[in-house]
Chains A and B, each alone.
Chain A
């Protein structure tokens, strides 16, 4: 366990070292949230609520979705693709740790860094500029914390899956990009899932993506409370467990391929 914690720490330090990234990051997230705020204002244009969310709730939803994204989002799929192509993965395999867990920990280190140095200050800045509602209920905050941790797990597992495909496709940049746009739409980052037509919502209920953004953001904005919130977290947990299987299977297949073909 110690080595994995160390990896989190190292990543955290690495992130701190990239200073320009840090300054521009906050600025860009703020512009992003700002633009969405106005877009949604134009969409609401006087309506008090759409699909059960008020305009203020909607702004909060957008802001918290993007800030939570800073936590769960990482590029480990791209990093894996790079390591695999350059043959570095063989070296990783002879090290005394699990490559999959190590990658997850790197992602977590990055996520924790962004949560504290991006999302929290960013959220304060955004909250000063745009009207938002924050819950005073400790339970909501607690559930939200648990929920974004689960989002991180789901998103990371999907990243691992796409990363491993590099073993089978020579160049998977396209796949990585496709995964990103799919997650942006189907996770509820761009639009709350309740805005979609009913049939689409029915389909999305059976996909893991809503667990990445929609559920934690709804919990935060108190669009989900009590029973609904717990149910959401349960769904997330189920997906975390379910996704373990394809990740393991694909990884075993990839290792076999590595052994046979020598990368």
Chain B
């Protein structure tokens, strides 16, 4: 309960700061839209040269992309702590965090949130509905519930991976440049994983399970029954990875306390 109050307190503060710099806010939202558009353009251009991607149609791929945008938006809004190393370790801000009576990861997340990224979820829904209607997909009563479940699972997968990456800074003086590359890898979960070879499919499923943010859960709504078992694994993998990342984080904080800076 305390954490819920804290959450809304921080959101309140966040809004105030953001509204002070409205131009930045507009640029930020615009750049998000732009990058979403660019990814769509990529898909469209590719399908200008082929009709099927390993048996998947253009609209199906677009649908997967639309789905992907929703958990991704949730992730970017709350867990986008790519500059953790510079901000908190190098500059010692973590010391401040540790003198406060709230879990350290929770504080860092709340300080670094970027709520404007949530607009991406709207884009995602629009893209999904567009592609879905072209594919003639029907909506059942349980779809919205499963959708929510899958979206949360996907967001937690992303969150878990990025929190763990941030944790590297506790052990090594890694700079943040791995992070941008990770975003690229994250993109591959948006394509049907059966186009990749076994090694990469394995990585995207079990090591860096980005496939659970895009193609696996979306496959359920596309009625691709061969993937159903993976679809339903989404929330499980999400919880598992996030839980793991919190464990690693706690270990990291311990290590930080042991070694100092």
Contacts and interface: CB of A to CB of B under 8 A. Distances in A.
Direct contact of A and B (CB under 8 A): yes
Interface of A: 17-21, 24-25, 28-29, 31-32, 34-35, 38-39, 41-45, 47, 50-51, 75, 169-175, 177-178, 180-182, 184-185, 190-191, 195-197
Interface stretch (B138-146, B192-200, B228-236): B192-200
B15 to A, nearest CB: 15
A20 B53 CA distance: 36
A195 B45 contact: yes
B35 A181 contact: yes
B2 interface: no
Nearest to A184: B38
Contacts of A38: 195-197, 200
Majority-rule SS of B interface residues: helix
Contacts of A170: 21, 24
B111 to A, nearest CB: 15
A43 B203 contact: no
B259 interface: no
Contacts of B147: none
A32 B175 CA distance: 19
Contact of B31 (A177, A195, A197): A177
A197 B34 contact: no
A170 B175 CA distance: 24
Pick the most buried of A18, A19, A31, A41: most chain B CB atoms within 10 A of its CB.
A31
Interface residues of B, number: 42
A76 to B, nearest CB: 12
Majority-rule SS of A interface residues: helix
Pick the most buried of A45, A169, A170: most chain B CB atoms within 10 A of its CB.
A45
B30 interface: yes
Contacts of A44: 50
Contacts of B29: 174
Interface in B27-63: 27-32, 34-35, 38, 41-42, 45-46, 48-50, 52-54
B181 interface: yes
A28 B165 CA distance: 13
B225 interface: no
A31 B200 contact: yes
Contacts, number: 115
A43 B34 contact: no
8 smallest CB-CB distances across A and B, nearest first, come from: A178-B31, A174-B28, A42-B195, A20-B174, A181-B35, A20-B172, A174-B27, A171-B24
A240 B16 CA distance: 42
A195 B174 contact: no
B184 interface: yes
B38 A28 contact: no
Interface of B: 21, 23-24, 27-32, 34-35, 38, 41-42, 45-46, 48-50, 52-54, 168, 172-175, 177-178, 180-182, 184-185, 188, 191, 195-197, 199-200, 203
A14 B132 CA distance: 50
A195 B42 CA distance: 10
A181 B34 contact: yes
A171 B31 contact: no
Contacts of A51: 49
A172 B21 CA distance: 11
Given A181-B31, A185-B38, A196-B45, 18 more contacts: A18-B175, A31-B200, A34-B196, A34-B197, A38-B195, A42-B53, A43-B46, A44-B50, A172-B24, A173-B28, A175-B31, A177-B32, A180-B180, A182-B34, A182-B38, A185-B42, A191-B42, A195-B48
Contact of A75 (B24, B27, B177, B203): B177
A237 B223 CA distance: 52
Contacts of A182: 34, 38
Contact of A21 (B31, B49, B175, B184): B175
B35 A21 contact: no
Contacts of B200: 31, 34-35, 38
Contacts of B175: 18, 21
Given A28-B182, A38-B195, A197-B48, A169 B24 contact: yes
